[in-house]
Structure 1
Amino acid sequence: MIIKLIFIIAFIGAGSGLQLKQVVMLSRHNIRTPLTTNLQLLTPKRWPNWNGNTGYLTPKGQILEQAMGRYFADWIIEEKLLLDKCPRNQVFVFSNTRERTIQTAKSFAEGAFGDCVEVYYKNMTGMDPVFNPVVRNVSEEFKEIVLSEMQAQLNKIDLKNALLRLNTIVDIKDSEYCKTENICDLSEVRNKIVFELNKEPDVAGALQLGNTLVDAFLMAYYDGMKEDDVAWGQIHTLEDWKALLKILKTYHKIRFQTKLLDRDVASTLVKYLGDVFQNGSKKFYVLVGHDANILSLMSSLNFKDYTLDGQFEKTPIGGKVVFEKWHDEVNGRDLLRARYVYQSSTQIRDGVEASLLHPPLEALLEMEDCAVDENGYCAWDDFIRKFNIV
């Protein structure tokens, strides 16, 4: 279900007795360049030219994120959480150490608050431990259970048609990869689970290669490249996208949404957020990370399945999981509302800048053990209890 935020604002402001007390938001970075420099090995075709280093935020991603910042600032001021766009010590913007997350956070902060809010990130080469979705528990019992669950997920998937389609799109039989590695048919490549201490869980093989290719196509689409430069003009319909993106979704689901594993890789982020929800003094927290952070967090907190209308992805580029703390003055209690705020695939490609008059899309989210009412609110105490369990 899609609900336009401007209507939510009108509803809450119309004598509902609810007052917004705090907003904590986990955002994925915006549009970036592809993550690998090895794409040319997988096809004899010429890839489109990206003006930027590997994995960097694109200029369009920066513009879209600035607009999203303005939109959220306007909303929280409208709700009287903040009084103006220079909130000084009432806002905390925290980014992972990757260029794409830092620049996304800076773009959001600039759009929302000009130069009044600085972005915090650690000066380190590796990923910030809060955002680093790596394996931390390598006890034999844990490893055995997780590997069994991941393998069970792998055994259930059927991506042969999607991988055969990828073969055709990239012409892999004539690629350098085929010549040097003797991998000339992605549908025949075996998947192998990679599970090591202090490394991200991974699935090497067809899923990983397929994800790399589909991700590059998707970023080109989002960045507004000509149709002939998006998979060389060979993705024509929504059904084509859905078929190919099944590879991407499956890859991430097995890596970050397997029970026990999700709680392990998200443990530092869950601990950080639990402290913010229970002890945080700021009114508005913005964390900028990756799809892996959102997927593992939502799985570990037992979010129910959700649908993002108008979107190819489950964790859209630039999308935000928004946790809102509301005070119910009538009943003397605090409530949580969780939403996924995002732009549709078409809005991103067309460069539509979010605003209160032209809001992004949203979906109300629900968690197990935090039952929501008809307006999407659950008891704050039930929500906080989850952080003492996970």
Structure 2
Amino acid sequence: MNNNQYQLDKVVILSRHGIRTPLENTIAFLEKSSPFKWPSWDHAYGYLTTRGGVLETFFGHYLSQWLEQQNIKLTPENPDIYVYANSLQRTVATAQFLVAGAYAGYDIPIVHKYTIEKMDPIFDPSVKNDSSEIKQKVLKEIEEADQKEAIFKNLAPAYKMVSDILDYPHSQLYAELKCDFADIPYELHFVKNEEPELRGPLAIGICVIDAFLLQYYSAFPKEQIAWGRITSQEQWQQLMQIRNHYIDLVFHSRTIARHNSKLLINKIDDLLHNKNYKVNLLVGHDSTIAALLGALDFAPYQLPNQFENTPIGGMVILQRYRHVTSGKYFFKAEYVYQSFEQLYTGEAIDINNPPQHYQLKLLNATPNSDGFYSWHDFEKRIKDFQP
């Protein structure tokens, strides 16, 4: 790519929070799913951990180096950055650690609208409209995705693996349901002001796998990570199919994605037109990223060296470039994230030991020979969501 002809003009970064503890509303559920005792945590449930904060500091340091490489250098006198986070501890804390790693000592406010632990509507994945018409659209999209990919059939080996790791047949949950893990009935929970859920083995599976993942990313002793029952990368890869399919079906599907992303996309549009800040950092969740990519018609992707499609601490960087010769604007989007191994080892990342970069593609748009899209191709997608 002839990148010398393109000058980075503005970025909007949407980051998922860093490593946290399991969510409080899953704890009782997890305990019912297995006769084994789950490891304890030394932070409140749903909070960013100390290790998570350290890794975000590393990421922030790398981010400032990468921006400087692109000729965007912030100074203490002119900290040309706007930071906005969902009003939960893990998202606000992630923003704080990112900024500390990138620009320690600079006077950069972390903006959040509400008291800690109150969800900001911009990042809220809850159902906005639970009309039967919308629900039927969502169900149809799930059914079409399943027919296209044979998702539920293909997940049978992963469900069997989860059941074996949990020793599910000897759990309280099995005693209540009296059926194999894969045969737990599916049901779409779609109620206004509540998070959508595809209840059944997919929902149970994502709760369980998230707990295992957080143990792994937190470098628990190997005998504590899934009680020592995950011993290979191939197992992780298979288990992660459950997590990725749940996120895809529940948050990335077109109807939910467009409904959930409207406020966020309007916020991004405002930031793109705000001349005060070249760098804009938003901190939300995996559901936020999945919905945004679905709403703006990004192509399906598989991130190298990562099993998660929306890895913890990862960020989507929306980039506007000015072509030096023509003065025209161009668009590029990258997923920047730590690999599965980098998260486990907790090693420092910087410009010499960088995180992973993966360029995202737009559906129904063609990049130029240098790999950049016309800015108009991206902007018209944003404009579709204007009030």
TM value normalised by structure 2: 0.92
| Deviates most, 133-142 or 268-277 | 133-142
- Could you list the per-position Cα deviations for residues 322-347 of structure 1 after superposition, in whole angstroms to 9, with x for gaps in the alignment? 01111111112111111111111001
Pairs within 5 Å for 1:272-351 = 272-279=267-274, 281-351=276-346
1:183 deviation in Å? 4.5
1:271 deviation in Å? 1.5
Paired position in structure 2 for 1:123: 114
Aligned length: 376
- The DSSP-based 3-state class of the residue aligned with 1:25 is strand
**129, 134, 139: which one aligns with 1:137:** 129
Q: Distance in 1 between matches of 2:379 and 2:8?
A: 17
- Pick closer, same or farther for the CA change 1:304–1:205 going to 2, 3 Å: same
**Is 1:94 paired with 2:84?**
yes
Pairs within 5 Å for 1:186-225 = 186-225=181-220
Q: Distance in 2 between matches of 1:178 and 1:62?
A: 37
**152, 158, 170: which one aligns with 1:174:** 170
1:182 deviation in Å? 3.4
Unaligned segments of structure 1, at least 5 residues = 1-7
1:194 deviation in Å? 0.8
Paired position in structure 2 for 1:160: 156
**42, 63, 66: which one aligns with 2:54:** 63
Paired position in structure 2 for 1:77: 68
Residue identity matched to 1:129: P
| Deviates most, 333-342 or 115-124 | 115-124
1:132 deviation in Å? 0.7
1:83 deviation in Å? 4.1
Contact 1:22 1:283 in 2 (8 A): yes
- Pick closer, same or farther for the CA change 1:374–1:175 going to 2, 3 Å: same
Residue identity matched to 1:43: S
**Is 1:44 paired with 2:32?**
no
Residue identity matched to 2:119: M
- The DSSP-based 3-state class of the residue aligned with 1:51 is coil
Q: Distance in 1 between matches of 2:259 and 2:316?
A: 20
RMSD: 1.8
Contact 1:278 1:384 in 2 (8 A): no
Residue identity matched to 2:318: F
1:226 deviation in Å? 1.7
Q: Distance in 2 between matches of 1:354 and 1:334?
A: 31
Contact 2:177 2:184 in 1 (8 A): no
- The DSSP-based 3-state class of the residue aligned with 1:20 is strand
Contact 1:365 1:376 in 2 (8 A): no
- The DSSP-based 3-state class of the residue aligned with 1:227 is coil
- The DSSP-based 3-state class of the residue aligned with 2:100 is helix
Residue identity matched to 1:31: I
Residue identity matched to 2:297: N
- Pick closer, same or farther for the CA change 1:59–1:375 going to 2, 3 Å: farther
- Pick closer, same or farther for the CA change 1:176–1:339 going to 2, 3 Å: same
Residue identity matched to 2:93: Q
Paired position in structure 2 for 1:148: 140
Please list every run of at least 4 consecutive aligned residues from structure 1 whose deviation after the TM superposition is greater than 4 angstroms.
none
Unaligned segments of structure 2, at least 5 residues = none
- Pick closer, same or farther for the CA change 1:107–1:183 going to 2, 3 Å: farther
Residue identity matched to 1:319: G
**Is 1:240 paired with 2:235?**
yes
Q: Distance in 2 between matches of 1:89 and 1:344?
A: 29
- Pick closer, same or farther for the CA change 1:331–1:183 going to 2, 3 Å: farther
Paired position in structure 2 for 1:377: 372
Q: Distance in 2 between matches of 1:43 and 1:56?
A: 24
1:137 deviation in Å? 2.9
Q: Distance in 2 between matches of 1:288 and 1:53?
A: 20
1:376 deviation in Å? 2.5
Q: Distance in 2 between matches of 1:113 and 1:268?
A: 28
How many percent of aligned residue pairs carry the same amino acid? 33
Paired position in structure 2 for 1:260: 255
Contact 1:57 1:99 in 2 (8 A): yes
Residue identity matched to 1:42: S
**1, 6, 11: which one aligns with 1:23:** 11
Paired position in structure 2 for 1:356: 351
Contact 2:83 2:95 in 1 (8 A): yes
Q: Distance in 2 between matches of 1:210 and 1:76?
A: 38
- Pick closer, same or farther for the CA change 1:87–1:384 going to 2, 3 Å: farther
Contact 2:114 2:120 in 1 (8 A): no
Residue identity matched to 1:118: P
Residue identity matched to 2:193: N
Q: Distance in 2 between matches of 1:280 and 1:260?
A: 32
Pairs within 5 Å for 1:105-124 = 105-116=95-106, 117-124=108-115
- Pick closer, same or farther for the CA change 1:333–1:87 going to 2, 3 Å: farther
